[in-house]
Structure 1
């Protein structure tokens, strides 16, 4: 059973709310609804509402330029094979890897399917290996657990390459009640390392689960001006609203400059190109123009020997093909909003602001006028994120450190299109580790700086909670 204190929930000493009761909230000014909100990606929004896949080019990209999009998609979709191989454009898998293709984790451009409790983690659930006391990687396993290894026969390999290990996922059932007496249930994940191939992990190494996110709209997030994001930073909570907005700072490997990290669950990459390149390297083992070195550790002799089979200086994916894949990710269209004009959605929208959800899930930006892709320039967009780090409480903490990101801190995820996952893919899961099966559960897990908003959500009437969830499903 779940003790309510486990979720940092304080039930107010008020009369229990019933389905017909309207809970009075502190009034905040709700922005006037704009029809621009119906096109959350501006003119780059998808032309049609997603039904079977999120893979659609931005609606304002000329037809001839879409050819590059579909070329890039082929490198996202098709599986990679071990090198050397006849298919030179698609070889270079591994030596260690999590999946053979981008699509294996980002199913139809969305999130991958998770396995059941008691089973090994599916490819869509990755595990970072972090240090609890500094930003670093495990001596034997590096910074990400890679369960798979290529099979090669070569004179440089005296024995087979071993995968690093597997993680068995268990879910603990938790239960609780709203103040109005309505019950809810949650699931808390527990992870068990098995079949380790290179000895034990170090004592100060911690696992951090990462459920691969939907990738549509990433180019528009990339196109937000850095100064517009930094204008939201409030590390010392100078406005005394209980929210300390902070951006991770990372070194851009292409320029050597320090920039804010806007991609990844902890804001580890400064640009979309680096995010794509990092996924190529860490998830599939594909060296590329941004990250050109394999990730084998000193303890992984056969991995290092396999990496030396390719001619020195050869990249698994050359710049031309890498750029096509990045371009595909840049112009992958945000889905249209749905029933936002309905009374129910408008009621939910008002609650979204009154509960201060917009404090972290910033609704609107205008993209840069000088972004390299014309279709993404000067677009009014509604991603509902500040791309910043926030303390989400002890229950969601991973106890690891990544640059300036502490264990309790997570980057605010965008909410656009979030209600389409089940409709498009046939399943849904939310939060950084996929523990939440519904949007309601995701809200209930909010703690730390979001605790007050979570408590306010708990104390809404059943109808109000339903209206807020309905709004989130429409944006």
Structure 2
């Protein structure tokens, strides 16, 4: 992969095709060039395809729960625990002989890294710049991170991504929807708020909130927090005058392997870039560069679907968030820029026994396996009368246009946990324009500054149990599910307005349904 793309938002589909010679969008209007190269797939038979189409068709009967609805991860579903470990269980159908890999991966995910040189050779290499000392420091209990002004100001897991508008290469100047961005010269593509001893941190995050009142039908009033973000106490000079900042809070980790196992063509079948059906919803796939496979792939992970696989997402986080070199990012200096000379010259934790890296391929694969197999808890109260009424309202309000309930995963040769499962993630994994209110004005590959990937909803009702809060959306501005709904705009404006106009008892039923997920 070109070094300039190492931490960059990746190129658009058309640009990637032009640069890699894998065809053209005009020749492949159905994205048929995008396959599941990351998986060992057993092709579906025609009979299976017909059965699947019938199973995933949206229901019209809201008098009772659907078959298997209480098991959102299929056979991989686990019993819903009543404590904070609810998101930390292994896939319910994991063979016994694979449990050890899950536990070792968990150990690496929870590891606290230290700066080099250190006597703990297997754990040194932190930074030099970093946002956290370990994966679990951001993904607390494998759930959502914490924001400033949240329940624990000493456990914040939020940072700012940064980029500046880029110069379009002459070779691709005429390519449609190509969004070129470059790193900030001083700070790269991510601002780190911690540094090893002797080095200044890049910044401190400051947030100011303005309260906005929203009136609901029936006289109810809800207050929304509108945030303004500031990168204060800059340690390496000013930001570029055209710097674009985008806040990020760590998302929950459950169900990732099942998302990765959904056939790309099943996700792409829901894309409607030009809103050909006229329903106001025009989901678009984000197509990104795979540094594993050196080709364009469907983006599935991240708030703007900027990563194609769990392994790449993990490798990017090791390098950008913790400063740990790995097979996909072999620089021991993490994200230190060329202008951060002293930062780049520090001793790193690379070890000959780990191929000169701070975490080698075996370690990265174990963390990937762990992340792939964090289980989705079973639904609660699926047959409750109020929950069923809320489900009907969820469908009738148009929420399922983006939050698609069901998929069936690929049949896989070597991943029994994810193979051929009926799953209920409540997402289409596509990009949607969510309006100016949620815009970060920072593009990422094909995603514009107003587009976000539809967030999966499974596990939604257990957020407080696991994370100790109910702060939602990409930056945690919504303090509960209703606030998150009221921030929806753009393509989701009509659904949002429907919720505003609902009688109070209907809104309560809708929220009860969402709490059951």
Same fold (TM over 0.5): yes
Q: Would you say the 8 A contact 2:116–2:125 is kept in 1?
A: yes
CA contact (8 A) 2:114 2:123 kept: yes
What TM-score results when the alignment is normalised by the length of structure 1? 0.89
1:131 corresponds to 2:164:
yes
CA distance in 1, matches of 2:383, 2:280: 32
CA offset at residue 337 of structure 1?
A: 0.5
Residue number in structure 1 paired with 2:216: 178
Deviates further, 304-313 or 58-67: 304-313
> Structure 1's 195 and 456: CA in aligned 2 closer, same or farther, altered over 3 A?
same
State the TM-score, normalizing by the size of structure 2: 0.82
Equivalent position to 1:432, from 474, 480, 500: 474
CA distance in 2, matches of 1:432, 1:458: 22
Tell me if the contact between 1:130 and 1:208 (Cα under 8 Å) persists in the aligned partners.
no
**C-alpha distance in 2, partners of 1:100/1:107?**
13
- The 1-side partners of 2:110 and 2:202 are apart by 25
Q: Within 2, Cα distance between the matches of 1:355 and 1:404?
A: 28
Q: Deviations over 1:243-302 (max 9, x none)?
A: 111011111001111111110111110011111111111111111112222321111011
Other-structure match for 2:295: 257
Measured after TM superposition, the shift of residue 135 of structure 1 is 2.2
Unmatched tracts of structure 1, length 5 or more: 1-27, 152-159
Alignment equivalent of 1:221, drawn from 256, 259, 268: 259
C-alpha separation between the residues in 1 aligned to 2:368 and 2:295? 21
Alignment of 1:63-212 (within 5 A): 63-116=96-149, 123-131=156-164, 134-151=180-197, 160-212=198-250
| Alignment correspondent of 2:77 | 45
Residue 442 (structure 2) pairs with residue 400 (structure 1): yes
Partners of 2:199 and 2:371 in 1: how far apart?
A: 32
Match of 2:399 in 1: 357
How many positions carry a matched residue from both structures? Answer: 439
Mapped contact 1:127–1:144 kept (Cα < 8 A): yes
* Structure 2 counterpart of 1:25: none
| Superposed displacement of residue 136, structure 1 | 2.3
Say if 1:345 and 1:332 are closer, same or farther in 2 by CA, change over 3 A: same
Residue 282 (1) aligns with residue 320 (2): yes
Q: CA deviation at 1:208?
A: 0.3
1:120/1:167 contact within 8 Å kept:
no
Further displaced range: 124-133 or 416-425: 124-133
For 1:207-258, what per-residue CA distance to the aligned partner results, in whole angstroms no more than 9, with x for missing partners?
1001110001111101111111111111011111101110111110011111
- Inter-partner Cα distance in structure 2 for 1:311 and 1:65: 27
Q: CA deviation at 1:326?
A: 0.7
Cα shift readout 1:366-420 (whole Å, capped 9, x = no counterpart): 0110264111100000000111100000010011111111010000110001111
Deviations 1:175-230 (A, max 9, x none): 12113211111111111221101111111111100111000111110111111111
User: CA separation in 1, counterparts of 2:350 and 2:328?
Assistant: 18
Closer, same or farther in 2 for the Cα pair 1:308/1:40, shift >3 Å?
Answer: closer
1:460 aligned partner? 502
- Change in Cα spacing, 1:351 to 1:307, as seen in structure 2 (3 Å) is farther
Distance 2:79 2:389 in 1: 27
Is the Cα contact below 8 Å between 1:126 and 1:212 reproduced in 2?
no
- Which residue number in structure 1 is paired with residue 339 of structure 2? 299
SS in 2 for 1:103: helix
Q: C-alpha separation between the residues in 1 aligned to 2:189 and 2:315?
A: 15
Q: 1:276 to 1:311 in 2, by over 3 A?
A: closer
Where do 5+ consecutive residues of structure 2 fail to align?
Answer: 1-57, 167-179
Cα deviations by residue, 1:293-341 (Å, 9 ceiling, x for unpaired): 2321111011110156747961110111111111000111011101111
CA shift for structure 1 position 47: 3.2
Contact 2:105 2:367 survives alignment (8 Å): yes
Q: Given that residues 325 and 350 in structure 2 are in contact (C-alpha distance below 8 angstroms), is that contact kept between their aligned partners in structure 1?
A: no
Provide, for residues 344-374 of structure 1, a one-character-per-residue CA deviation record: whole Å limited to 9, x for no partner.
0000000010001011011000011026411
